[in-house]
Amino acid sequence: MIEAVGLTKRYGDKTAVYNLSFRVRPGAVTGFLGPNGSGKSTTMRMILGLDNPTSGAVTIGGYPYRKLPNAPRQVGALLDAKAVHGGRSARNHLLSLAQLSGIPARRVDEVLGVVGLQDVARKRSKGFSLGMGQRLGIAAALLGDPQVLLFDEPVNGLDPEGILWVRNLMKALAAEGRTVFVSSHLMSEMALTADHLIVIGRGQLLADMSVTDFISANSADFARVRTPDTEPQLREKLSSALTEAGGHVLPEQDGALRVTGLPLPRISDLAHESGVRLWELSPHQASLEEAYMRMTQGAVDYRSTIDQKAGLQQPLPPGVQPPVPVPGQGQPGWYAPPPPQQGGQPFGMPPAGPYGGAPAAGYGAPGTAAGTAPGGPAGAANPYAQPGAPAQAPAPVQPAGQAPQAPAAGQAPQSPPPALVKAAPPAPATSPAADAAPASAPADPTQPEDAR
């Protein structure tokens, strides 16, 4: 269990993380989502004791990372795949980590097999592609067979096969009861991988809920209605009729109408009564990606000047912060659908979506019996499940070697985000971890900031 309470990190006048409280539980993949610059890496670095919080605290199994007994054996992390000595072979890189921690060499060969790098194990890592580097970083994270795993954007640079492999690996690790915390800015990927989501924007918590709850809170059924392109007046006529009947009508980019709040048969009847012919009347469900974009769009730091969505937003007066978006409610000027009507579900849509089913059965890294994803082939062994724990720990994975981008204009967060933040945990009186927990999680709020 990872637990953050009131976690805040400031770099000068830039607040990277503000008052974050959440728990990451074992036995599940928890996706950590947020736009670029929202504070995901900063949070992960604080979890791993690589940055000190300005205030608040974060613990693993009840201990701050730096006080965790045998930490590298309990926690594995991939923060930056490039943090490798390029002159060393993949095997030697892992061997040096293992030797520092008394892990036997055969474990190195095991994890090389798990990540599919056995054939290039003796090649210098400086010649590795981004995807190979990611696999090497994942191997390092698995080296100590840890119960808690953190992965910062693990699918960066991976091809589709690699992405599927990472997805199944995460699920398999969680299915073994491990705590798996994975950051991403891709909702579509997290929807397929994660059981639980923690979403942040501008360093603040926007949502802390199961993927299922996120979907039901954020996905909206809608109808697409198209009238003949040749007769724009029909579109206007239908739009008025639908609005008068209580529907909510938004224009789509291709000239169709997006209608919520009215069932399909009613839309059809209204069109008929208005004498409007239809070229299309179809049920749809807003994608999870769209819901996520809607939730975080007010919390995006970097946006292209030619971003179509930017063009739909009202410019803010200088110095004014965009409002923290409320999941499910959208924001003015955004083309995503409004939330479902009260008691909604106008179109009897099946619950399935891109996230609705188990992903295709996974496959292992080349040459290994792959970890089994839940719902995947039964009985397949997880080769990284090392029986007999090593005596000592591997060296921790090194943090990102690069300085992060210079911050944008200093932006102190406003009030804590409302709504949809479920189960924000109160500060614990005692440690939650049953296995390895001190009496309390010592906060470390007054530490000076790390020299970076």
Ligand X SMILES: Nc1ncnc2c1ncn2[C@@H]1O[C@H](COP(=O)(O)OP(=O)(O)OP(=O)(O)O)[C@@H](O)[C@H]1O
Angle at 51 between CA 142 and CA 6, to 5 degrees: 100
First to last CA, the chain: 28
Which residues, in sequence order, are bridge partners of residue 150? 77, 181
**Quick one: tokens of 191?**
């929807």
> In whole angstroms, how close is the CB of 284 to ligand X at the nearest point?
29
> In whole angstroms, how close is the CB of 82 to ligand X at the nearest point?
13
- 272-284: b or e for each residue (b if 16 or more CB lie within 10 Å)? eebebeeeebeee
404 or 442: whose CB is closer to ligand X? 404
Distance CA 26, CA 23 (A): 10
Distance CA 305, CA 245 (A): 38
> In whole angstroms, how close is the CB of 447 to ligand X at the nearest point?
15
Which residues are near ligand X by CB under 6 A? 11, 14, 16, 34, 36-42, 185, 404-405, 407, 452
Name the residue type at position 334: W
> In whole angstroms, how close is the CB of 399 to ligand X at the nearest point?
11
126 or 452: whose CB is closer to ligand X? 452
- The strand ranges marked E within 25-134 are 28-33, 55-60, 75-78
Calculated CA dihedral for residues 231, 233, 238, 243, nearest 10 degrees: 150
81 or 238: whose CB is closer to ligand X? 81
169 or 299: whose CB is closer to ligand X? 299
**Quick one: tokens of 52?**
């000190």
> In whole angstroms, how close is the CB of 41 to ligand X at the nearest point?
3
14 or 124: whose CB is closer to ligand X? 14
Angle at 226 between CA 221 and CA 231, to 5 degrees: 155
Phi, psi (degrees; rounded to nearest 5) at 227: -100, 170
> In whole angstroms, how close is the CB of 250 to ligand X at the nearest point?
30
16 or 75: whose CB is closer to ligand X? 16
How is residue 421 annotated by DSSP?
Answer: B
Computed on alpha carbons and rounded to an integer, the radius of gyration of the chain in Å comes to 24
12 or 319: whose CB is closer to ligand X? 12
> In whole angstroms, how close is the CB of 151 to ligand X at the nearest point?
13
Residue with tokens 């006048």: 13
> In whole angstroms, how close is the CB of 203 to ligand X at the nearest point?
7
Task: Write out 102-115 in H/E/C secondary structure.
Answer: CCCHHHHHHHHHHC
- The strand ranges marked E within 191-236 are 196-201, 204-210, 221-226
With beta carbons less than 8 A apart as the criterion, state whether 117 and 108 touch: no
> In whole angstroms, how close is the CB of 155 to ligand X at the nearest point?
13
39 or 76: whose CB is closer to ligand X? 39
15 or 239: whose CB is closer to ligand X? 15
